[in-house]
Structure 1
Amino acid sequence: MFFQRSWTKKDQAQLLIDIGRCLSDGYPLITALSLPENRKRPKVQEDMERMRQSMIAGSPLHEVLHALHFPGEIASSIYFAETGGNLSAALIESGTMILRREQYKETMRRFMRYPLFLIWVLCTIMFVIGRFLLPSFIQLYRSLSLELPLITKALLYLSEHVAEAAVIAVVIGFALALCVIYYRKLPLLPRLRFTSRLPIIGRYIRLYHTHLFAFHLGSLLSSGLNIKQSIHILTEKGTSPFLKSEAERMEQNLLNGLPLDSFVLGPVYYLPELAEAIHQGQRHSLLGKVLCQFSMQLMKRMEQQSKWLLSMCQPLMLILVGGFVLMLFLSILLPIFHMINAL
């Protein structure tokens, strides 16, 4: 089964929300896919017809969505919902999650638009100064036997060694590319342990994977399954590599007689609050509900921290670009001031 990747993220989100609402209204899944209001562009209509034919032939919904290049965690959520029996709510929630991500991306593009414009202006100014103004001023200063300030010497050194700087940048970029290739070849858990210890990104890694684990396990438990059944489902085909690996490790720990909350205390890619949430949920016999509520709280925390990080990036970029522009003008104006003082 092959689908061309021509769907936008908003198309994917709207499809999930529409199908989820139709299921909530009592429509069968095949009928929900056939409703005219779910169809948009011609390519979307064509793919939706293929979806309907594939599902009539027996393909589950999560496999059809995976073939349409939906995000892997979304297909996993639909797989769990098909198993647990709460498909309509999972479809609406998954579509809302995609829309929220798209809003984050749009916010980031809006925040970065002005700093990127400043960087373009900075590059233009550097080219004009280095190509036309600076050589003339340097020749004038040397003819007058003036001692150049340190900032002017630094800029002159950079302008004279552009080729060497470009070679160094290429070497650094090549080294970073090799590091990324090596990192991707590492097993999943060592990669998570490494990135979870990084200063800034590590916090988001821990938030995301704690949310992912709590959300999926809580959803399965809330659908009426017990802990062993939920963990077994997480080990089956259709789950993400992270959830499958963690479920297999959890299943082994339970066979060894270890409590559930002890499973999440060791790994650095989980927040310490997850163990407390599991303990409180088991204590009150509401583990599924507690984990779902905890995952929603983590989602809100990720939203707040993302907004805070974006709000800090723009002023920082403005300060850096403005400081560099100021340095460029000082490298030219300071010798002029020295020349005036020497008269």
Structure 2
Amino acid sequence: MRIKKRWVLKDQAIFLKRLSSLLEKGYSLNEAMKFTAIDLSEEKKQDILFCLNELSKGVLLRTTFEKLQFHSEVLSYLYFSEKHGNLEFALREGGEMLNRKMIQHEKLKKVLQYPLFLFFTIGILMYISQSVIAPQFEQIYRSMNLKQSFLTEVLFFIFRGSTFFMVFLVLLFICGLIFYVAFFKNLLPQEKMRMSLKIPLWKKFALLLNSYYFSLQLSNLLKSGLSIYESLTVFENQNLLPFFRDEAAWFIRQLKKGDRFEVLVERNEFYEKELTQVVAYGQANGHLARELYTYSQFVLERIETKMMKWIMLIQPAAYLAVGLTVLIMYLSMILPMYHMMEAL
């Protein structure tokens, strides 16, 4: 059974945080879900009843949330909680993760909203200028036997080139889509990651994301009493995150050959180099779980800082592009008229 999606990210985040808060206060999962459902809509109350009914049959919480179409990262948190036993932590972290996504999305939306509106408006004006105004000016130049000034020729060239540029962008998008469907989609997870790390602006961000998630989930598994080998086996047995599943399989194969874990992390190209030092330090002092969790929080701060930096760079870049477009529009109308007045 698959329920029609009606849990938006905001609703999911609030629900998960309330559940984790009640579990922390000593409520059982059933009691927490019933209490949380009090002020929900009738549709969501039915979803909670469905969850409770599934749980009474022995179905895993992750499976019931999957049927409600909760976010995939929330499901992965719940999967690992089944192994380390800390459901309250998984629900809290899942809710906070969704909150971070929403905050970043809202900030990006606010940054881009006005520039995108301006681009849309100017795009219409550019089309009118290119299809109506520019041809008329060119016709007047020919009828009056006037030679166009250098700046006027440049502006007309920009107008003509804008059409080819838009066609180029459309063709580039189509080629990218064909590449994804025919080639990239069929690659193994490690090959996909390796190829994505070749993108300069994305590489650092991807390394941080990989390091954060791997260190966070591994720390919780180790904290529950599992060994490194057993924790990696948990990663290997899940299908929600194919990349980490295959990564765990690679680590396990190498560990069976006698390699040390910190050496394998150092040889791995998908994580930040600092992770090697954290693993070595944690194994040396006997607190690997603690060191990995602390490191994951440091990495999370770096991810959020980097995202905010990108968002803050987008707005001035967008306004600069809008300003240049407005200047071109203005010059395209003024310069030809000025040039013709000089010729008379």
* Structure 2 CA distance for partners of 1:263 and 1:308, relative to 1, 3 Å: same
More displaced stretch, 264-273 vs 100-109: 264-273
Structure 1 stretch displaced more, 160-169 or 244-253: 160-169
* Shift, 1:142, TM fit: 2.4
User: Which residue of 2 is the match for residue 319 of structure 1?
Assistant: 320
Inter-partner Cα distance in structure 2 for 1:136 and 1:232: 72
Counterparts of 1:28-43 in structure 2, within 5 Å, are 28-37=28-37, 39-43=39-43
Q: Deviations over 1:236-288 (max 9, x none)?
A: 23552122111111111111111111222233321111111111111111111
Provide the secondary structure at the position in 2 that maps to 1:303: helix
Which residue of 2 is the match for residue 216 of structure 1? 217
For 2:268 and 2:178, how far apart are their aligned partners in 1? 27
Shift of 1:201: 1.2
Give the distance between the partners of 1:72 and 1:127, measured in 2 at CA: 42
The size of the alignment, in residue pairs, is 343
Shift of 1:161: 7.8
Please tell me the residue identity of whatever aligns with 2:68: L
TM-score normalised by structure 2 residue count: 0.92
What CA distance in whole angstroms lies between the structure 1 residues aligned with 2:8 and 2:250? 36
Secondary structure at the aligned position of 2:200 is classed as coil
CA RMSD across the alignment: 2.2
Residue in 1 aligned with 2:56? 56
Distance (Å, rounded) in 1 between the aligned partners of 2:311 and 2:322: 17
Partner of 2:254: 253
Checking the alignment, whether the CA contact within 8 Å between 1:193 and 1:267 is kept in structure 2 is no
CA drift at 1:24: 1.1
Query: What amino acid is the match of 2:305?
Result: Q
Asked if the contact 1:30/1:56 (under 8 Å) is kept, the reply is: no
Shift, 1:303, TM fit: 0.6
Contact 1:9/1:102 (8 A) holds in 2: yes
Deviation at 1:155, TM superposition (A): 4.7
Matches within 5 A, 1:8-157: 8-37=8-37, 39-156=39-156
Corresponding residue for residue 201 of structure 2: 200
Tell whether the 8 Å contact from 1:196 to 1:268 is kept in structure 2 after alignment.
no
> How far did 1:231 drift?
1.5
Written as runs of structure 1 = structure 2, the 5 A alignment for 1:297-336 is 297-336=298-337
Which stretch shows the higher mean deviation, 280-289 or 164-173? 164-173
Alignment partners' CA distance in 1, 2:294 and 2:283? 14
CA deviations 1:175-201 (Å, max 9, x no partner) are 111112121121110110111121101
Query: For residue 282 of structure 1, what is the aligned residue in structure 2?
Result: 283
Q: Is the 8 A contact 1:15 1:38 kept in 2?
A: no
Q: What displacement does 1:289 show?
A: 0.8
Residues 131-159 of structure 1: CA distance to partner in whole angstroms, max 9, x if unpaired? 44323322222233222234533554565
Residue 226 (structure 1) shift: 2.0
SS in 2 for 1:252: helix
The alignment's TM-score, normalised by the length of structure 1, stands at 0.92
Task: Give structure 2 stretches of 5+ with no counterpart.
Answer: none
Contact 2:84 2:224 in 1 (8 A): yes
Contact map agreement 2:15 2:36 (CA 8 A) in 1:
no
Q: 1:277 to 1:38 in 2, by over 3 A?
A: farther
Q: Distance in 1 between the 2:13 and 2:161 partners?
A: 50
Letter in 1 for 2:215: A
- The yes-or-no answer on 1:242 pairing with 2:243 is yes
Quote how far apart the aligned CAs of 1:168 are: 4.4
SS of the equivalent of 1:35 reads helix
- Which residue does 2:184 correspond to in 1? 183
Q: What is the distance in 2 between the residues matched to 1:153 and 1:127?
A: 18
Structure 1 residues 127, 83: closer, same or farther in 2, change over 3 A?
same
Distance in 1 (CA, whole Å) between partners of 2:131 and 2:239 is 58
8 A contact 1:10–1:98 mirrored in 2: yes
CA displacement, residues 193-248 of structure 1 (integer Å, 9 cap, x when unaligned): 11112110111111111111111101111222221221122222355212211111
